[in-house]
A and B are shown apart, each in its own frame.
Chain A
Amino acid sequence: MHCQKNLLRKIITFAFLIVNADIAHSHHSSAMFDKNVIRHVDAVVKEFQWANPHVWIQIYIENQNGKQEEWSIEGLGTNGLFRKGWRPNSFKPGDIIEIKFNPMLDGSSAGGFIGAKLTNGKIFGRW
């Protein structure tokens, strides 16, 4: 039970259309993401790929067995994110964050970014 704090917290939501604005209209279809599910997890940043057509946040998440798993979280492109306040160093390796994302429909270890909160309280995306 003690691990549950770090386990994926699955929140079934109604699919309010606006919720997924940050992954919609990327350079490809976002059909692979489950927009009806928001996962809210604690994570450690492994790498932040600041590049187009999408930024990617590589994170470590503790799985149900207590092991660290690497996940790939996809965001929008650099240009629009920069204008929303993101920077190439917004996420640094080792940063501890809370992150929300729409997981892949097939259960694989990736997701579409919704929002993230750093330990200093800074928020990116929707929170």
Chain B
Amino acid sequence: MINKKNILKFIFMIVFQWALILLPINSYAQNTSTLPDWSGVWERYEGNGGMFDISTTKPPEGRAGRPGVRQYPPLTKIWEEKYKKNLELVAIDRLPDPISVCGTPAGFPRLLALPDVYEFIVRPEQTWIITENGPNIMRIYTDGRTLPEPDDRWLTYTGESVGHWENKTLVFKTISMIGEKSTILDRSGMTLSDQAEVNARMFKTDEGLLRAELVIEDPIALTEPWYVTRHFRRLMTGTRVYDYACAENNRNPITNSGKTLTLGPDGKPIDIEF
């Protein structure tokens, strides 16, 4: 029976259904308009030393991979011993960088301290950190999802990341990183365990730098939270990003003993000691 009450009820239902449909779209549009501009191409700001934590590096201008150069995170006793052993291996060129094999990612959080350039792709539902010196694509989900349950995740190079936006600041947490088994933080030989977790805040500073504030916690490697800050500066408009095919002409294979060889143009080792 068609009466005024039923007509109003029908109109209300139509409006309600459309509201349900349009609500996410409106929300998406709103998020898009309030997201920060991290477009363009960026590079790391903290020099070319390659040390992951510049603030605790000694000597202060020391470069990763040079004998005697190290950083001083709040390491547990067992991890300090591991780090010292790695430093000794670095000194005799027997600590190969996992990424030297070409093909595996540097992983997180090391991917915030790589050479070459970066892109930070900001979308409402996720942010991608793409490193030219790859392969590294880190996905930080900001669509409201939670971190996977233990049965739904496994250790990976970049781990699992979820976050949210607080005004123009990306706040995220990363867990489930593969750790010392397959990654290092820099060529001084610093590593973390697979129990490490990172809480991070990323935002653009008044100076136009992109700042990443990391709080690293690791019940096996660290006695207390390790605070590390990394910055990136935007390169000039028009800067391009290129392929990085590490295996294209890799003339530095690693031997089983961990020595980095140097191959001649004929593919045979040049090294006299080999």
Q: A52 to B97, Cβ gap below 8 A?
A: no
- Assembled-state Cα–Cα distance A50/B99 (Å): 20
The reply to whether B265 and A31 form a contact with Cβ atoms under 8 Å apart is no
Distance in angstroms from B265 CB to nearest chain A CB is 6
Interface stretch of the complex, out of A21-29, A91-99, A113-121: A21-29
Contact of B50 among A24, A52, A58, A79 (CB under 8 A): A24
A24 touching B249 by the CB < 8 A rule? Answer: no
Shortest CB distance B273–A (Å): 5
Q: Are A108 and B65 in contact (CB under 8 A)?
A: no
Cβ of A18: which chain B residues have Cβ within 8 Å of it?
61
Question: In the complex, how many residues of chain B place their beta carbon closer than 8 angstroms to a beta carbon of chain A?
Answer: 46
Q: How far is the CA of A70 from the CA of B270 in the complex (A)?
A: 11
> Which residue from chain A places its CB closest to the CB of B241 in the assembled complex?
A79
Interface flag for A6 (CB, 8 Å): no
Q: Give the shortest distance, in Å, between A75 (CB) and chain B (any CB).
A: 12
* A78 vs chain B, min Cβ distance (A): 7
Which residue in A29, A35, A83 is a CB contact (below 8 Å) of B97?
A29
Stretch of B76-84, B88-96, B135-143 contacting A (4+ beta carbons < 8 Å): B88-96
B58 at the interface (CB under 8 A from A): no
| Chain B binding surface SS class | loop
Q: By CB atoms of chain B within 10 A, which of A21, A30, A53 has the most?
A: A53
Q: Which of B50, B65, B133, B262 contacts A110 (CB 8 A)?
A: B262
Residues of A within 8 A of B (CB-CB), count: 37
Contact B260 A51 (CB under 8 A): no
Q: Are B115 and A25 in contact (CB under 8 A)?
A: yes
CA distance A24 to B116 in the complex (A): 12
A18 to B271, CA, bound (A): 26
Chain A, residue nearest B48 (CB): A21
Enumerate chain A residues within 8 angstroms of B102, measured Cβ to Cβ. Answer: 27, 53
Q: In the complex, which of the residues B64, B65, B262 contacts A74, with contact meaning CB atoms closer than 8 Å?
A: B262
With A24-B63, A79-B117 in contact, do A29 and B265 touch (Cβ < 8 Å)? no
Contact between chains at B93 and A74 (CB < 8 Å)? no
CA distance A49 to B272 in the complex (A): 23
Known contacts A27-B97, A54-B251, A74-B251; A108/B115 CB under 8 A = no
A-B contact pairs, 8 of them (CB 8 A): A17-B61, A24-B50, A25-B64, A29-B65, A30-B65, A31-B65, A80-B115, A106-B273
Lowest 10 CB-CB distances: which A-B pairs, in order? A31-B93, A51-B249, A28-B100, A79-B242, A108-B272, A28-B252, A25-B115, A106-B272, A53-B246, A108-B270
5 additional contacts (CB under 8 A) given A29-B95, A70-B265, A77-B133: A29-B96, A31-B92, A53-B244, A106-B272, A109-B264
